[in-house]
Structure 1
Amino acid sequence: MKKTLIKNAKIVNEGTIFEGDIFIEGDTILEIDESISAKDPNTIIIDAEGKYVLPGVIDDQVHFREPGLTHKGNIASESAAAVAGGITTFMEQPNTKPQTTTIPEWENKMAIAAATSHANYGFMFGGTNNNLDEILKVDINRVPGIKLFLGSSTGNMLVNDEEVLKEIFSKVKLRISLHCEDEDTIKANLQQALNTYGEEIPITEHPKIRSAEACYKSSSKAVELAKQTGGRIHVFHLSTGKETELFDNKLPIEQKQITAEVCIHHLWFSDEDYKEKGAFIKWNPAVKTKSDRDQLWEALLDDRIDVIATDHAPHTIEEKSNTYTNCPSGGPLVQHALPAMLQFVHEGKISIEKVVEKMCHNPARLFDIEKRGYIRKGYKADLVIVDTNNPWTVTKDNILASCGWSPFEGVTFKSRISHTIVNGHIAYHNFKVSAERNAQELSFNR
């Protein structure tokens, strides 16, 4: 059985930083101590002197495009980009083709990931206005949670029947993740823009079309329904300051019925960046004002927002070059999410301990993931080794997402991921992803 010893690390875990060693056997952390000696001469030794070791990042929201949209990316390509970014576990969303709204389609994704994924995997089960019976059949120890689109949906995944929502919220015991934008508000705003600009709507209109009002109207309604029904909801990708008022920090995350997530792009960019970045920062929900960004940061730091994720959603450069109404929303982010957050650590905006809490511990706690998200004896050896003083610049040559571009092109990050370890296997080392895979299906302690 493979043995690995990480020496001289600055270990970041559960709100503390301490220097020590980590001994891994197979896929499990066996020992954590100030000093550990290798007893087996075949032990792989990694000297992490001067570097930080973090738990592997758990990304609770990605779109890896398989099946049906593989010209944009697939589970193999995007999970390779993920491990390059220190993400050892992902939860993929159901808006593929076909949609993941039946158990056979969910099983199909699991089979693809078992054969091709570089990172540990779980797949959200999608809800529609008429598949509650199928939702209630899912195995709660294998499915991370349910995903509902209350806006910006594809296919028939817009759940816009309030009675159906109430029924799902009251009957489903899994965490229900939500995309909240009010479609009627967006349609009215879009029509107004079309009346003004015709087909040449400038990208700077995006945050006005997919407005703060549209977000708040939908998310506030969802929160109110959750309170009425006892639903366990997790509101994805908050983008407005007003929405942060809907959440509180009075309870530990396991006891919260209503939780929230923020994504990297809403913490990094503002509407002032559309002029330079154009459609490459077109997401749904839209990147909004500096004031919104500041309020998101405030809510993240005071624990009203529980999780940081990516909403990784690649599109081709050709697709992104279309006119506003024909240009899809979304972009690649898994490779650069952790380096971006560590950039904020350098700036003193957030501590590295808080980054670990929001990107590693809390997703594990929120979704009841078994034996991941922490550096603990007996836990799976999902680890990231980071050199916080080894700058590198994002260029087309080092982007691993299949789409071949990034909104961070040209950015020089101060921190470099040297190793990503997935279940004891070195999945990534200094810009090279291992051809060997050791990913596992997620299990849940429910």
Structure 2
Amino acid sequence: MQKVLIKNALLINEGKSFKRDLLIEGEYISQIGSSINIDESEVNVIDANGSYLLPGAIDDQVHFREPGLTHKANIGTESRAAVAGGITSFIEMPNTVPQATTQELLEDKFKTASESSYANYSFMFGGTNDNLEELLKTNPRDVAGIKLFLGSSTGNMLVDNEEVLEKIFSSTDLIISVHCEDEGTIKKNFKEQFDKYGDDIPIKLHPKIRSEEACYLSSSKAIALAKKTGARLHIFHLSTAKETELFRNDIPLEEKKITAEVCVHHLWFEENDYDTKGTFIKWNPAVKTANDRAGLWKALLDDRIDVIATDHAPHTIEEKENSYTKAPSGGPLVQHAMVALLNKVSEGVISIEKLVQKMCHNPAILFQVEKRGYLREGYYADLVLVNPNDPWTVEKSNVLYKCGWSPFEGTTFNSKITHTFVNGNLIYNKGQFNDTIKGKRLLFNR
């Protein structure tokens, strides 16, 4: 059994920061203490003085493009980038080719991940207008949940039959995670702009097409349906300040039936960035106004928004360089999400403790992930060491995504992730990867 002693780190865990040692034995954290007495000749020792020690982040929304879209990305390449970015577990979405809308196709993805994923993994089952019977076979113990697209996006898995939606919401106890944009509103807005500009719609109109109205109408309808049926609802990637008014912060997360997520790009970019970034920051839902960004930060900090994720969704440079109507929405983020938000820590926007709550603890609570998301004795040793004072600039040469680009190119981050452990194994060490060990399938306490 391998043993690793991490000494003198500043542990960030459960709302507190404290200098401690941490001992890893095999896959687990075996001891946390102010001074761990052990013969250091029997262990690998890392002196982490000056570094943060964080739980590995759990990213509840990624698109790793396998199967069927592997010219953009695959589970191996993107999970490798994720662990370099401090993400040790991910939940991947069903809109691949073929879509994960049968139990057999879902298990095919698990098999692929078991052979290639550097990080721990789970996948969501995709709901459609006609697969309720198959959906209800989903095992709550070893599948993260159900994903529904209530607005069309990559893969076109739109669920727009209201009778079917109510049946799904009424029939499962699993978390139902939803992409909320009203399709009718988007089509109307798009037609207005297409009639005026044709294929060359200015990218700055993207948030006018995929508007605040489209987002709020869909989110509010989903929440009303969840309240009517008692469903457990999680709304992905909020993008407007108005939507944040729909959520509560007066009860603990464990008691919430309706929860919300925000993604790093909606916390970082705003509509003026289209002038320089163009279609490379085209996402669904769209990056919107500076006021929306401020409203999202406010709701994140006051706990109306529960989780920070990435919605990592790579496309090739050639695809993104197309005109507005042909350029796909989405961008790669798992390598840079944590360090981007650590910049916000250094700016005083968010505390390091709150950041760990939103990226590590809360996804574990929300999805009932077994023995992950915390620095606790007996938990899996999914750990990240961060040097908070080692500036570096994102360049194509240091981007790890298969697509070869990042919306953060040219940005200097203050912090650098130096070590990432997955299940007690040092998978990432100062730019070097252990390619021999793979992550585990996530299990859920339900």
Equivalence for 2:246: 246
One-letter code of the match for 1:124?
A: M
One-letter code of the match for 2:119?
A: A
Establish whether residue 132 from structure 1 lines up as the match of residue 132 from structure 2: yes
Establish whether residue 198 from structure 1 lines up as the match of residue 231 from structure 2: no
Equivalence for 2:338: 338
Distance in 2 (CA, whole Å) between partners of 1:206 and 1:268 is 17
Equivalence for 1:60: 60
SS at match of 2:325: helix
Larger displacement relative to structure 2 (117-126 or 249-258) = 249-258
SS at match of 2:41: coil
Equivalence for 1:105: 105
Q: CA deviation at 1:170?
A: 1.3
SS at match of 2:397: helix
Establish whether residue 174 from structure 1 lines up as the match of residue 174 from structure 2: yes
One-letter code of the match for 2:336?
A: H
TM-score, length-scaled by structure 1: 0.99
One-letter code of the match for 1:163?
A: E
Q: Any idea what the Cα deviations from partners look like across 1:274-315, whole Å, max 9, x if unmatched? A: 000001100000000000000000000000000000000000
SS at match of 1:41: helix
Establish whether residue 185 from structure 1 lines up as the match of residue 176 from structure 2: no
8 Å CA contact 1:210, 1:286 repeated in 2: yes
Larger displacement relative to structure 2 (130-139 or 281-290) = 130-139
8 Å CA contact 1:61, 1:310 repeated in 2: yes
Q: CA deviation at 1:155?
A: 4.9
8 Å CA contact 2:96, 2:155 repeated in 1: no
Distance in 2 (CA, whole Å) between partners of 1:331 and 1:95 is 15
Equivalence for 2:320: 320
Equivalence for 2:28: 28
Distance in 1 (CA, whole Å) between partners of 2:40 and 2:292 is 54
Establish whether residue 258 from structure 1 lines up as the match of residue 269 from structure 2: no
Instruction: Note the residue ranges of structure 2 that are not aligned, 5 or more in a row.
Output: none
One-letter code of the match for 1:337?
A: A
8 Å CA contact 2:56, 2:88 repeated in 1: yes
Q: Any idea what the Cα deviations from partners look like across 1:176-207, whole Å, max 9, x if unmatched? A: 10000011111111111111112211111100
Distance in 1 (CA, whole Å) between partners of 2:300 and 2:316 is 31
Q: CA deviation at 1:42?
A: 3.7
The list of structure 1 runs, each at least 4 consecutive aligned residues, that deviate by more than 6 angstroms after superposition, is none
Distance in 2 (CA, whole Å) between partners of 1:135 and 1:200 is 40
SS at match of 2:245: helix
Equivalence for 2:401: 401
Establish whether residue 81 from structure 1 lines up as the match of residue 81 from structure 2: yes
SS at match of 1:222: helix
Equivalence for 1:71: 71
Distance in 1 (CA, whole Å) between partners of 2:58 and 2:39 is 32
| Equivalent runs, 1:294-373 vs 2, <5 Å | 294-373=294-373
One-letter code of the match for 1:279?
A: T
Q: Any idea what the Cα deviations from partners look like across 1:26-82, whole Å, max 9, x if unmatched? A: 100000000113326241111100100000000000000000000000000000000
Aligned positions, number: 446
Distance in 2 (CA, whole Å) between partners of 1:445 and 1:20 is 29
Q: CA deviation at 1:154?
A: 4.8
Distance in 1 (CA, whole Å) between partners of 2:281 and 2:267 is 12
SS at match of 1:350: coil
Equivalence for 2:160: 160
One-letter code of the match for 1:411?
A: T
Equivalence for 2:445: 445
Q: CA deviation at 1:156?
A: 5.8
Q: Any idea what the Cα deviations from partners look like across 1:96-139, whole Å, max 9, x if unmatched? A: 00000100111100000000000000001110011111111111
Q: CA deviation at 1:437?
A: 2.0
Distance in 2 (CA, whole Å) between partners of 1:156 and 1:49 is 49
8 Å CA contact 1:312, 1:330 repeated in 2: yes
8 Å CA contact 1:398, 1:431 repeated in 2: no
Judging changes above 3 Å, is the alpha-carbon distance between structure 1 residues 21 and 438 closer, same or farther for their aligned structure 2 residues? farther
Q: Any idea what the Cα deviations from partners look like across 1:350-387, whole Å, max 9, x if unmatched? A: 00000000000000000000000000000000000001
One-letter code of the match for 1:167?
A: K
SS at match of 1:129: coil
Larger displacement relative to structure 2 (247-256 or 398-407) = 247-256
Over the residues paired in the alignment, what is the CA RMSD in angstroms? 0.9
8 Å CA contact 1:73, 1:401 repeated in 2: yes
TM-score, length-scaled by structure 2: 0.99
Distance in 2 (CA, whole Å) between partners of 1:30 and 1:199 is 59
8 Å CA contact 1:423, 1:438 repeated in 2: no
One-letter code of the match for 1:201?
A: I
